[in-house]
Structure formats: C-alpha cells, structure tokens
Amino acid sequence: MSRPIAADASGPTSPEDTVELTYVEAVRWALREALVSDPRVFLLGEDIGARGGVFRVTDGLLAEFGPQRVIDTPIAESVIVGLALGAAAAGMRPVAEIQFADYVHPAADQLINEVAKLRYRSHGGWGCPLVVRMPYGAGVHGGPYHSQSVEALYFHVPGLKLVAPATPRDARGLLLAAIDDPDPVLFFEHKRLYRRVRGTLPRAPERLPLGRAAVVAPGDRATVVSYGASVHEALRVAAALQAEGIAIEVIDLRTLVPLDVETVLASVRKTSRVLVYHEDTRRGGIGAEIAATIAEAAFEYLDAPPVRLAAPDCHVPFAAPLEEAYLPLAPQLLAALRRLLAY
C-alpha cells in the first residue's frame, strides 16, 4: 500500500516546456487555469476556501480569486449540487467539490432527477455545464465511510458524463475539458493518487478529449482494461510479465461515460484475451458492462471468456491489513492474468 505509484510517462519532453506535478497539484493547476481564463467559472464546496479543502486541492485559490469565486458552503451536498445546477442553468460554469465521494448520495436526487435530465426535458433549450469533483477510493485507511468507489451507481444514469483520470496530465487536461463541456460531468479523483504519483505536463494549456481511452502499455497476449489507481497496478504487472517475454496491453479508459468501446474492441481483437480490472465492487460494476459489450461485439475473436477482477462485494475495512486484503492489487492481478493466459 505504501509503495510508490508509477509516474505518467506521456507528454512533451522539452524541459522548458514542461512542469512536473503531483496529481493533486495538477488538479489545482487546472482549477486555477479555468478561473483565470473564464470569468464564468467558480468553485464551491465544504471547506474549500480558507482551509483549501480537506485534501488541500484548492489551497491558495481563495486568496487569489476571492470569496465570490471560491465559495465555502454548508455541510449539505444537496445544496451544493442544487446551487451548481441553478448557476449552470443561468450560464455560469460551476465546479462543485464533494468532500468524499461517499457523501454524494444526499445530492443523488439533484444529480439523477434534475442535473442529468435538464437538457432532455427542455428539448435542448437549457444546458447544464457543471462539474462535480469527487475524491474516491480506498487505500488511505478511511474505513467504510471515506473509501468507497461510487462510480457504478452514476454510470447507469443517462445524461451524466463520468471521468476517472489515472495520471496528473490526464487529471489536468480532462478537468479543463470537463469544465468546458456543455453537459454535466462527474469527475472522480482517486485519493491514493493525490500525492503518490507525479507526472510531466505541458506548461501550455492542454485539454484532452472526453470519451477517448489510452493504450498505456502495448501488447499482444492479453488486454487489461482499467481506470483510476488500478491502472498503475496493471502497469506494474505488465512490466513484470514483459520481463518474462509476455506482452500485456493495458488500456486506461480515462472516461467512463462516454466509454471508448472501439479502443477496447480493437485491442481485444488483437490479443483475443481480456481482463477488466477495477477497484469498485464486482456485482453490477462497470466491469460487467464492459465484459458484456466485448462478449456481444467480439465473441468470435476470443480465445477465453472475459475475466473480471474487482473488490469483493463488501464494505471497505478500516484496519490496514484487512483493507489491503480487500483491495485487488498487483499480486491478485498477476495471478488472474496467469490463469487467463493458461486457459
């Protein structure tokens, strides 16, 4: 759990044109860029002002931009999302922070019945250009109320886009694209990545397109489809197998909705074996949808059934040894891939 996470290897190589940032610094960089470039952008959330957020993501932004653009809210998630909805409908570009993804559920009615439906029920007359940022995931000893992965609950809802970056460069570029997007985006930031991963980013503003996955390790023996912190575990395993002469292709989805099905299918048609890997619980998870899509669209290319590796269907334990046993990390992935390759 304490071992370092692989850095982002993509991006420009000229030192004067780049900057090296942690994941949390990259998110803050993007928020500052958006505040500077667009007067419609403002931030709101619990303790994001004077305290700079519980994870210090917004540290320093209140002093730079003032209390009208960096707004501390009451401890009321339905109010936070409801205010963002009204502001977005009125032409603003709010970026709301939910302190932990575990706490978003009081705002579920706003998200599912209002935010997600606004464009549809107005026949395109009203947009809802808002972003809801949510730190999510386990591995920080937060227990069952501060460690959940909730993305699958909202993956099911039409009208919402979901983004889950794995690297600092993607976090910055996809957050800027999400803020520009005319429709609502839920932006998932894995807490375990905040200060454990560093990456190289271009100094110039960069927006990465939503809905496009990245092949972060090429291979031809099997495909691993993943997102968030699990991508780094997959890259470790791919490197270990590469040393044995086994090339595993790793796909970082980056965006969960829209889902880049074509990149996934192209890889599966090449490798003929696929493992879908995520930290969220297994039952009804995003991995099930991806596995079903592959079975429907690429069955004739498969040499083995699609495999899912996910967390067990239970709550995240607080005790560190139990939490580590709960998480599907590199050793479990390596074992699952060996079984898949031997099928």
| pLDDT attached to residue 14 | 63
Q: Is the pTM of this model over 0.85?
A: yes
- Report the distance separating Cα 38 and Cα 207, nearest Å: 14
Query: 154 with 162: CB under 8 angstroms?
Result: yes
Find, among 318, 309, 314, the residue nearest to 139 by Cα: 318
Same fold flag, 17-202 and 214-342: yes
| Active-site amino acid positions | 146
SS (H, E, C) 96-146: EECCCHHHCHHHHHHHHHHHCCHHHHCCCCCCCCCEEEEEECCCCCCHHHC
DSSP 316: P
| pLDDT attached to residue 321 | 93
| pLDDT attached to residue 183 | 96
What does CATH list as the number for 17-202?
3.40.50.970
| pLDDT attached to residue 16 | 77
How far CA 237 is from CA of 92, 231, 329, in Å, comes to 44, 10, 10
Output the tens digit of pLDDT for each of the chain's 343 residues. Answer: 333 344 444 444 567 799 999 999 999 999 999 999 999 999 999 999 999 999 999 999 999 999 999 999 999 999 999 999 999 999 999 999 999 999 999 999 999 999 999 999 999 999 999 999 999 999 989 999 999 999 999 999 999 999 999 999 999 999 999 999 999 999 999 999 999 999 999 999 999 999 999 999 999 999 999 999 999 999 999 999 999 999 999 999 999 999 999 999 999 999 999 999 999 999 999 999 999 999 999 999 999 999 999 999 999 999 999 999 999 999 999 999 999 999 9
| pLDDT attached to residue 310 | 97
Rounded to whole angstroms, the maximal C-alpha distance in the chain is 60
| pLDDT attached to residue 207 | 96
What is the residue extent of each domain of the chain? Answer: 17-202, 214-342
| pLDDT attached to residue 30 | 98
214-342: CATH, from 3.40.50.920, 3.30.70.330, 1.10.30.50, 3.10.270.10: 3.40.50.920
